[in-house]
Amino acid sequence: MIVTEQIAIDHGLKKDEYKKICDLLKRVPNITELGIFSAMWNEHCSYKSSRFHLKNLPTKGKNVIQGPGENAGVIDIDDDDALVFKIESHNHPSFIEPYQGAATGVGGIMRDIFTMGARPIANLNSIHFGSPQHKKTRNLLRGVVRGIGGYGNCMGVPTIGGQTNFDESYNGNILVNAMTLGLVKKNKIFYSKAAGLGKPVIYVGSKTGRDGIHGASMASAVFDEKIEEKKPTVQVGDPFTEKLLLEACLELMTGDSIIAIQDMGAAGLTSSSIEMASKGNLGIEINLNKVPCRETKMSPYEIMLSESQERMLIVLENGKEDLAKEIFDKWNLDFAVIGKTTKSKKIELYFDEKKVADIPVNILVENSPMYDRKWKKSKLPKKIKIEKEQFKNLKIINVLNKILSSPNVCSKKWIWQQYDHTVMGDTIQKPGGDAGVVRVHGTNKAIAASVDSSAVYCWAHPLSGGKQIVCESWRNLISVGAKPIAITNCLNFGSPENEENMGEFVECVQGLSEASSFLNFPVVSGNVSFYNQTKDVGIKPTPAIGGVGLIKDYRNMITMDLKAIGNTLLVIGKTEGHLDQSLFSRDILNEKNGPPPEINLFNEKNNGETILKLIEKKFIKSAHDVSLGGIITALSKMCISGKKGAVLKKPKYLINQFEYFFGEDQGRYIIEIEKNNLKDVTEILEKNSVHYEELGIVNDNELIINDKSKVSIDDLIKSHTTWLTNYMNK
């Protein structure tokens, strides 16, 4: 087949990109080469619209061992231990085929982790669906949850947390972001940089099929009415093979055979071989006849672009082939020496004794397009003046019940009970809390992790929303007693070719950058997913942040359930009653406009660090951050978890009770302390200039706001737990 400009366009390349390829090669590429360029230069693999802005993110810190650029980020967690973690999107395939899309998303991110020598110890996920009323939502949710559980459970890795949101902007483009944490010894971390000439290049894992061809290109395109036709581009996962691959790789990693290792994820053999060669400033020669294939008559184009799952590419030390083969044979996995490293600095492919591709690696990587796209700056919306009339007919308990049973606040137990969250025997805080917590096996240390997004705030004002989501992640870790260390981000946006969408991306990244710099909470890994768009309609900007923190002694971990009747409840951080963009404003008043709450990074840091001091001194019995739904929603969740009530004091401030209880001012926590420690605690708070107020005391089985507003905990539990189960059983 002779390649033409139209064929290049059909591969997702732009006219000028195709011209650049011809100019750089000084000839027209053949079809295999064009396939390789289209895979390496698509948005998903090349980050061509985002690289320019991502470089501003803070990626260094005292605990950072490896920042972005490798398969995953690595941080120091004391002693000889390091934590490897990353979040990645699998949005497009999950919409087309929810079970396999979500399952292979989980499989892919776990491979990224064990590629670096780490054993996966926990999974999390952030999933976003369209309106519950949309005809596709229920089945998409069911398929995605089964897919996540199906893969993670079979791998024997606990799913310890996550978040699920519904919003009509995801009607045509759901989001499925999967995160994995893995443990490794600091001196046994593996990287993807090839080194040395004539070193054998090894293919291991499953055989290559025709599934997933052009998966990465599909993930870099806008959806249209023909989206169902793209089903063949969705990969098919097999967790049992991945489990074998995990054990085989970790066994090989105990020795000194491996020079470099890279999983075959997006763009399969193409990206894995080229990335290894590029990082090592080497060439790679591959004989495609040696690649184990499960289908007959696969062409070089198909072999290079297949995204069959559970495969790895390894550069071995010379003479270690037999040892490695023995290990992979034992685990019943394919093993083939398919090529070698060369000094040519080219990717050279052979098939049926003919050279079928010959491309300098630097053309594919360093010369890949990078765009500084046009973007539109957003204005901070004007504050909405809410008339007193609008509050007049509202009853606080009715509003609270409505918020607790709303899709974005209600209990997600229907989801997480399908995930095995206790396998491996180290989960000490299961899903449903502020953060999932797992012990570092055999030590007193524990790792806390949470994943968060707040698309509504980002949509209202991307800069503030970007800051807020980092702060929320920070708060969730603080709330369980963990010192926040680093984050991974999954940046889900619409088309970068649209100035407004691009503006949302640029300003969210600025916000993330400002907040993570100030909080010493660096970004060590991540992923960008653009083109979450159907025709002209993009999703709300949805950066998902996976935060990780360390608890030095797991016995000091904090949970949100109220502990003892008579204990005092304090609100940490100032309540000013910000209702714009709050759940109250949107769901109760039906007001969708206005600015998101302001972020004060100084207070955020100061409040969080002071809470950690109180935890260290063992003053805090339970804690929960105040987020969606305000103080009363946060307190209700503490009551529900602890099956205890609370009697509240009358608020001192000159704001109405709806603003006080449902306002979403940032940087706040509710903490439970013993009454006799009140003086010591308030002294510490005052010494650290932290604003606080007494909220009330823990009660038996009723939440009493005032004489007229009270509700039993059983009723709160009913409101909180029934919506999702009922919805899924319809």
Partner 1 sequence: MMPHPERMIDPALSGEDGSLFFENLINNLR
Shortest reach from residue 107's CB to partner 1, in Å = 22
Residue number, 129 or 151, with CB nearest to partner 1: 151
Shortest reach from residue 575's CB to partner 1, in Å = 34
The bridge status of strand 446-452 relative to strand 542-551 is antiparallel
Shortest reach from residue 443's CB to partner 1, in Å = 12
Both tokens assigned to 407: 């899709």
Q: Where are the beta strands (DSSP E) in 149-297?
A: 159-166, 175-185, 200-205, 258-263, 283-287
Residue number, 91 or 559, with CB nearest to partner 1: 559
Residue number, 186 or 555, with CB nearest to partner 1: 555
Q: Which stretch binds partner 1 (CB under 8 A): 51-59, 336-344, 425-433, 645-653?
A: 425-433
Matching residue, tokens 């909180």: 720
Shortest reach from residue 509's CB to partner 1, in Å = 39
Shortest reach from residue 156's CB to partner 1, in Å = 12
Is 86 one of the binding residues for partner 1 (CB under 8 A)?
Answer: no
Shortest reach from residue 121's CB to partner 1, in Å = 14
Matching residue, tokens 């070089």: 300
Residue number, 47 or 554, with CB nearest to partner 1: 554
Largest CA distance in the chain: 87
Shortest reach from residue 427's CB to partner 1, in Å = 7
Is 277 one of the binding residues for partner 1 (CB under 8 A)?
Answer: no
Is 419 one of the binding residues for partner 1 (CB under 8 A)?
Answer: no
Residue number, 446 or 579, with CB nearest to partner 1: 446
CA–CA dist 387, 394 (Å, integer): 13
The bridge status of strand 645-648 relative to strand 702-704 is parallel
Residue number, 53 or 439, with CB nearest to partner 1: 439
Q: Within positions 385 to 414, which residues make up the interface with partner 1, using CB under 8 A?
A: none
Active site positions, annotated: 44, 90
Helices (H), 617-698: 630-642, 657-662, 678-687
Shortest reach from residue 428's CB to partner 1, in Å = 5
Residue number, 9 or 564, with CB nearest to partner 1: 564
Residue number, 183 or 349, with CB nearest to partner 1: 183
Q: Are 544 and 174 in contact (CB under 8 A)?
A: no
Both tokens assigned to 343: 């000094």
Q: Are 284 and 341 in contact (CB under 8 A)?
A: yes
Shortest reach from residue 698's CB to partner 1, in Å = 22
Is 555 one of the binding residues for partner 1 (CB under 8 A)?
Answer: yes
Report the candidate in 560, 520, 556, 312 with the shortest Cα–Cα distance to residue 431: 560
CA–CA dist 406, 400 (Å, integer): 10
Q: Which stretch binds partner 1 (CB under 8 A): 204-212, 368-376, 423-431, 711-719?
A: 423-431
Shortest reach from residue 561's CB to partner 1, in Å = 14
Q: Are 730 and 138 in contact (CB under 8 A)?
A: yes
Q: Are 217 and 11 in contact (CB under 8 A)?
A: yes
Both tokens assigned to 455: 């698309």
Q: Which stretch binds partner 1 (CB under 8 A): 255-263, 318-326, 330-338, 427-435?
A: 427-435
Q: Which stretch binds partner 1 (CB under 8 A): 4-12, 176-184, 418-426, 458-466?
A: 418-426
Provide CB contacts within 8 A for 186, sequence distance 6+: 65, 76, 80, 81, 82
Residue 473 CB-density burial (10 A; 0-12 exposed, 13-18 middle, 19+ buried): buried
Is 425 one of the binding residues for partner 1 (CB under 8 A)?
Answer: yes
661 half-sphere exposure, CB direction, 13 A CA radius:
21
Binding-site member from 416, 554, 658, 662 for partner 1 (CB under 8 A): 554
Shortest reach from residue 449's CB to partner 1, in Å = 17
Provide CB contacts within 8 A for 687, sequence distance 6+: none
Provide CB contacts within 8 A for 6, sequence distance 6+: none
Residue 126 β-bridge partners? 163, 177
Shortest reach from residue 423's CB to partner 1, in Å = 8
Q: Which amino acid is at 162?
A: G
How many of the chain's residues bind partner 1 (CB under 8 A)?
10
Q: Are 530 and 496 in contact (CB under 8 A)?
A: yes
- CB atoms < 10 A from the CB of 151, how many? 29
User: Under DSSP, is residue 277 helix (H, G, I), strand (E, B) or coil?
Assistant: helix
Is 441 one of the binding residues for partner 1 (CB under 8 A)?
Answer: no
Q: Which stretch binds partner 1 (CB under 8 A): 224-232, 271-279, 424-432, 583-591?
A: 424-432
Q: Are 60 and 377 in contact (CB under 8 A)?
A: no
Residue number, 128 or 430, with CB nearest to partner 1: 430
Report the candidate in 528, 368, 287 with the shortest Cα–Cα distance to residue 36: 368
* Contact map string, positions 52 to 71, toward partner 1, x by CB under 8 A: --------------------
Q: Which stretch binds partner 1 (CB under 8 A): 130-138, 271-279, 408-416, 422-430?
A: 422-430
Q: Within positions 246 to 275, which residues make up the interface with partner 1, using CB under 8 A?
A: none
Binding-site member from 423, 655, 678, 684 for partner 1 (CB under 8 A): 423
Residue 85 β-bridge partners? 73, 181
Residue number, 250 or 423, with CB nearest to partner 1: 423
End-to-end CA separation in angstroms for the chain = 52
Q: In what order do the strands lie in the sheet with 542-551?
A: 427-429, 436-439, 446-452, 542-551, 483-492, 523-529
CA–CA dist 190, 314 (Å, integer): 11
Is 427 one of the binding residues for partner 1 (CB under 8 A)?
Answer: yes
Residue number, 555 or 617, with CB nearest to partner 1: 555
Binding-site member from 84, 269, 324, 428 for partner 1 (CB under 8 A): 428
Residue number, 380 or 564, with CB nearest to partner 1: 564
Secondary structure string (H, E, C) spanning 704-729: ECCCCCEEEHHHHHHHHHHHHHHHHH
Q: Which stretch binds partner 1 (CB under 8 A): 45-53, 298-306, 420-428, 533-541?
A: 420-428
The bridge status of strand 669-673 relative to strand 258-263 is unpaired
Is 439 one of the binding residues for partner 1 (CB under 8 A)?
Answer: yes
Is 422 one of the binding residues for partner 1 (CB under 8 A)?
Answer: yes
Q: Where are the beta strands (DSSP E) in 556-641?
A: 568-572, 620-625
**Chain positions contacting partner 1, by CB under 8 A:** 422-423, 425-428, 430, 439, 554-555
